[in-house]
Amino acid sequence: MRTLADDPSVVARILDHIDNRSTDRGAEVWHEPVENYRSEARLGIELMQVLRRTPTPFCPSAALPDAGSYVARTAAGVPLIAVRDKDGVARVFRNACRHRGMSLADGTGCKRVLVCPYHAWTYELDGRLRGVPHEDGFPGLDKRSHGLVPVPSFEDQGLVWVTQEGPAPAKSPWAELDGLVTSAQRLAGMSETDVAANWKIVTEGFLEGYHLQSLHADTFFPIQFDNLNVIEQFGPNSRVTFPYRRVNKLRDVEPGERSADGVLTYVYHLFPNAMLITFSKNTTMVVVEPTGVDRCRLVNYTLTHRDPSKGADAEALERDLHFIDAGTVQDREAAVAIQRGLASGANESFQFGLFESAIVHFHRTLHGAIDAARVAGR
- For 8-77, the DSSP string reads HHHHHHHHHHHHHT-----S--EEEETHHHH-HHHHHHIIIIIITTS-EEEEEGGG--STTEEEEEEETT
Inform me whether the pLDDT recorded for 111 exceeds 70.
yes
DSSP-assigned letters across all residues of 1-17: ---SPPHHHHHHHHHHH
Strand 153-156 to 90-94 pairing:
unpaired
pLDDT 10s digits, 22-48 = 999 999 999 999 999 999 999 999 999
| Nearest alpha-carbon partner for 14 in 227, 226, 211, 229 | 229
| Res 313: pLDDT | 73
Question: Prior bond to 167 cis, omega within 30?
Answer: no
Can you name the CATH fold of 56-162? Rieske Iron-sulfur Protein (2.102.10)
Mean pLDDT calculated for residue range 217-231: 96
Distance CA 229, CA 355 (A): 8
Nearest one of 358, 265, 258, 246 to 11, comparing CA atoms = 258
Does 69 or 167 have the greater pLDDT score?
Answer: 69
Say which CATH topology domain 7-53+183-376 has: Naphthalene 1,2-dioxygenase Alpha Subunit; Chain A, domain 1 (3.90.380)
Tell me how crowded residue 222 is: count the other CB atoms within 10 A of its CB. Answer: 10
Question: Is 56-162 the same fold as 7-53+183-376?
Answer: no
Whether the pLDDT of residue 171 is over 70: the answer is yes
Mapped onto helix, strand or coil, the DSSP state of residue 134 is: coil
Question: What pLDDT band is residue 117 in, cutting at 50, 70 and 90?
Answer: very high
As a whole number, mean pLDDT of residues 214-238 equals 97
Q: Confidence band (pLDDT; 50, 70, 90) for 321?
A: confident
* pLDDT score recorded for residue 377: 75
- Percent of the chain's residues with pLDDT above 70: 99
pLDDT at 315: 79
SS3 286: strand
pLDDT recorded at residue 310: 74
pLDDT at 167 over 90: no
115: three-class secondary structure by DSSP: strand
Predicted confidence band at 168 (pLDDT cuts at 50, 70, 90)?
confident
Contact between 287 and 274 (Cβ < 8 Å): yes
92 strand-pairing partners: 82
Q: HSE (CB half, 13 Å, CA atoms) of 32? A: 22
- What number is the average pLDDT over the span 108-134? 98
Report, as an integer, the average pLDDT of 133-146: 96
Residue 146 has pLDDT above 70, yes or no: yes
In the prediction, which pLDDT does 316 show? Answer: 78
Residue 60: its pLDDT value, please? 98
Where are the chain's structural domains?
A: 7-53+183-376, 56-162
pLDDT band at 1 (very low <50, low <70, confident <90, very high): low
Beta-bridged to residue 262, according to DSSP, are none
Maximum mean pLDDT: which of 65-74, 161-170, 302-311: 65-74
Mean pLDDT of the residues in the chain: 95
- pLDDT category, 166, cuts 50, 70, 90? confident
pLDDT at 163 over 70: yes
Report pLDDT for 37.
98
pLDDT at 322: 83
Separation CA 188–CA 185 (nearest Å): 9
pLDDT number for residue 92: 98
Residue 305: its pLDDT value, please? Answer: 83
Angle at 119 between CA 104 and CA 115, to 5 degrees: 35
| pLDDT average, residue stretch 247-262 | 95
Mean pLDDT of 268-274: 98
Q: What is the DSSP string of 291-310?
A: EETTEEEEEEEEEESS-TTS
**Rounded CA gap, 153 and 163, in Å?**
6
